[in-house]
């Protein structure tokens, strides 16, 4: 059996088992189940597409099987580990609990956050000719404060804002729903500028959270038409994005003009499969990165945690370390194993194996278990403030749904913990300044006296009661 057939069968089986798992888990679906679903999309869905398109004759079918078996065992052990978390944390990870808290977000907070994202995007386009994040901010001369603020706003608000706006819109009517639908369209448009992955994540989040609020099963066989419509929407968006991505990411005027002449009319781009197909054929999948890792493990051994150490150093803000040198994980990986430069589909499972060899799956479980524990705790702490909850939810979803990323998932949550802490300090300070309590009375007596009204002449402090005299 050649590698193409092996990959196709493995991906089909993986997707089928994931669908059965999600179908059984829907009554208490949580963020771990969402993570399992996204793993299936990247390892199963992408592999199912590239199996007939790429020539995989140079790959060892047995090693491909090993990759999927190791990943399956790791996810099963991670599921057992997550089930051992405290019940309070696990309850905060459930989609129904998240939707219930997000539904309490005031419309004014949603408008403010969407406006902030729009203004930041317009500022970047006007001053730096950048619609989305550029490839090299230092080369383009974009200041550090702008790239940092934009990363915090998008990473900490975009997907959480989308979920909150969707849930609130489904539970209201009239003019408020119209306003929220406009905000929802603006959020989708801004997130879609970042590419197919962002659009795909919003599709999945919208489908699952609308099902959670409405009370229907998204994995029921009769809902297959809705999944087909979602795939069709992703197909059309991918075609359009591949035709216009140069105009969105390259600020140089000459390159922008060249790419604009090569772009098709919008309506023709919607059905243009050529560039999307070429991108799929040329782009390696996450399983291929793991294949390169395991293949080099057998020859040269592990990197002994070098990628993890560098990832920690990369996350130190430049304001605290002005002479910091950022090192790309792919470049470090290529240099360590003597490989040619390549845009690998880096993922956490492959990184931990590159760092720690066949003990990597254990580190993968520890890392992800810590991530789920931190996410659950932060969601619980920020429930009292809808705005802070949206920021925390956005960081959580961004970290968990980005399967094609490295160690920055948990570090992104840590960054958001700092932002949430600052938010708490500001919120408490605002309450102290604008809502002071008198020092002469205990709070219960003070508010009790206010309820009595102007007829209060005196308070009996010993009994904590108020007497009125007319």
* pLDDT tens digits along 267-296: 565 666 666 666 667 778 899 889 989 988
> Are 157 and 387 a contacting pair, CB within 8 Å?
no
| Element (DSSP H or E) covering residue 457 | strand 456-460
Residue 18's nearest CA partner among 66, 71, 60 is 71
| Measured distance CA(380)–CA(419) in Å, rounded | 16
What confidence category does residue 138 fall into, taking pLDDT thresholds of 50, 70 and 90?
A: very low
| Measured distance CA(41)–CA(47) in Å, rounded | 9
Residue 71 pLDDT exceeds 80: yes
Dump pLDDT digits (tens) for 145-185: 676 666 666 655 778 888 999 999 988 877 888 888 888 88
456-460 and 465-468 as β-strands: parallel, antiparallel, unpaired? antiparallel
CB environment 451-460: b (16+ within 10 A), e (fewer)? eeeeeeeebe
| Measured distance CA(321)–CA(288) in Å, rounded | 35
Dump pLDDT digits (tens) for 33-57: 999 999 999 999 888 888 888 888 8
The dihedral built from the CA positions of residue 133, 136, 142 and 147, taken in this order, carries a sign that is: positive
> Residues 438-456: what's their mean pLDDT?
43
* Residue 440 Cα distances to 436, 445, 446, 447, 467, angstroms: 12, 10, 9, 12, 18
> Helix 159-170 and helix 175-192: axis angle, to 10°?
160
> Are 198 and 192 a contacting pair, CB within 8 Å?
yes
Residue 457 main-chain phi, psi, to 5 deg: -100, -35
| Higher-scoring residue by pLDDT: 315, 434 | 315
Q: What is the pLDDT of residue 81?
A: 95
**End-to-end alpha-carbon separation of the chain, Å?**
96
Dump pLDDT digits (tens) for 202-233: 888 988 999 999 888 888 888 777 777 777 77
Residue 265 pLDDT exceeds 80: no
> Residues 373-388: what's their mean pLDDT?
85
> Are 110 and 104 a contacting pair, CB within 8 Å?
no
Q: What is the pLDDT of residue 455?
A: 40
Q: What is the pLDDT of residue 28?
A: 92
What confidence category does residue 1 fall into, taking pLDDT thresholds of 50, 70 and 90?
A: low
Q: What is the pLDDT of residue 463?
A: 45
Weakest-pLDDT range from 8-22, 71-85, 152-166, 442-456: 442-456
Torsion on CA atoms 177, 181, 182, 188, rounded to nearest 10: 160
This prediction has a pTM of 0.81
Residue 87 pLDDT exceeds 50: yes
Dump pLDDT digits (tens) for 407-430: 876 666 666 666 656 656 766 676
What confidence category does residue 241 fall into, taking pLDDT thresholds of 50, 70 and 90?
A: low
| Percent of the residues in the chain that have a pLDDT greater than 90, as a whole number | 23
Q: What is the pLDDT of residue 238?
A: 67
């Amino acid at each position: 059996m050649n590698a193409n057939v092996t990959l196709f069968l493995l991906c089909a089986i993986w997707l089928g088992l994931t669908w059965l798992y999600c179908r059984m888990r829907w009554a208490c679906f949580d963020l771990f189940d969402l993570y399992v679903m996204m793993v299936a999309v990247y390892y199963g869905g992408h592999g199912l597409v590239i199996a007939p398109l790429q020539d995989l004759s140079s790959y060892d079918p047995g090693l491909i099987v090993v990759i999927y078996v190791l990943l399956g065992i790791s996810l099963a052990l991670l599921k057992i580990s997550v089930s051992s978390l405290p019940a309070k944390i696990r309850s905060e990870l459930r989609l129904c609990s998240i939707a219930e808290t997000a539904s309490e977000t005031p419309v004014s907070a949603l408008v403010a956050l969407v406006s902030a994202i729009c203004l930041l995007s317009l500022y970047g386009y006007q001053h730096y000719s950048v619609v989305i994040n550029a490839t090299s901010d230092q080369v383009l001369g974009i200041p550090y404060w702008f790239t940092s603020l934009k990363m915090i706003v998008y990473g900490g608000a975009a997907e959480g804002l989308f979920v909150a706006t969707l849930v609130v819109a489904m539970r209201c009517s009239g003019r408020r729903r119209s306003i929220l639908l406009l905000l929802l369209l603006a959020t989708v448009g801004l997130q879609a500028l970042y590419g197919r992955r962002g659009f795909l994540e919003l599709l999945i989040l919208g489908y699952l959270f609308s099902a959670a609020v409405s009370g229907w099963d998204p994995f029921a066989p009769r809902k297959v038409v809705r999944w087909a419509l979602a795939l069709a929407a992703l197909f059309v968006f991918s075609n359009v994005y591949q035709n216009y991505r140069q105009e969105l990411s390259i600020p140089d005027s000459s390159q922008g003009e060249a790419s604009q002449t090569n772009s098709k009319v919008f309506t023709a781009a919607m059905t243009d499969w050529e560039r999307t197909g070429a991108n799929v054929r040329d782009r390696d999948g996450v399983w291929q990165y793991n294949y390169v890792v395991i293949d080099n493990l057998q020859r040269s051994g592990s990197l002994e945690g070098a990628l993890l150490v560098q990832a920690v150093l990369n996350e130190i803000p430049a304001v605290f370390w002005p002479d910091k040198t950022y090192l790309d994980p792919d470049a470090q990986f290529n240099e360590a194993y003597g490989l040619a430069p390549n845009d690998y589909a880096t993922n956490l499972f492959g990184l931990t194996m590159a760092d720690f060899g066949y003990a990597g799956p254990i580190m993968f479980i520890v890392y992800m278990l810590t991530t789920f524990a931190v996410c659950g705790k932060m969601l619980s702490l920020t429930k009292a403030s809808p705005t802070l909850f949206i920021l925390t939810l956005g960081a959580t979803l961004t970290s968990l749904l980005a399967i094609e990323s490295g160690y920055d998932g948990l570090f992104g949550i840590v960054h958001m913990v700092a932002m949430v802490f600052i938010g708490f300090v500001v919120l408490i300070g605002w309450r102290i300044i604008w809502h002071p309590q008198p020092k002469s009375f205990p709070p219960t007596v003070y508010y009790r006296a206010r309820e009595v009204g102007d007829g209060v002449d005196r308070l009996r402090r010993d009994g904590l009661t108020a007497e009125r005299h007319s």
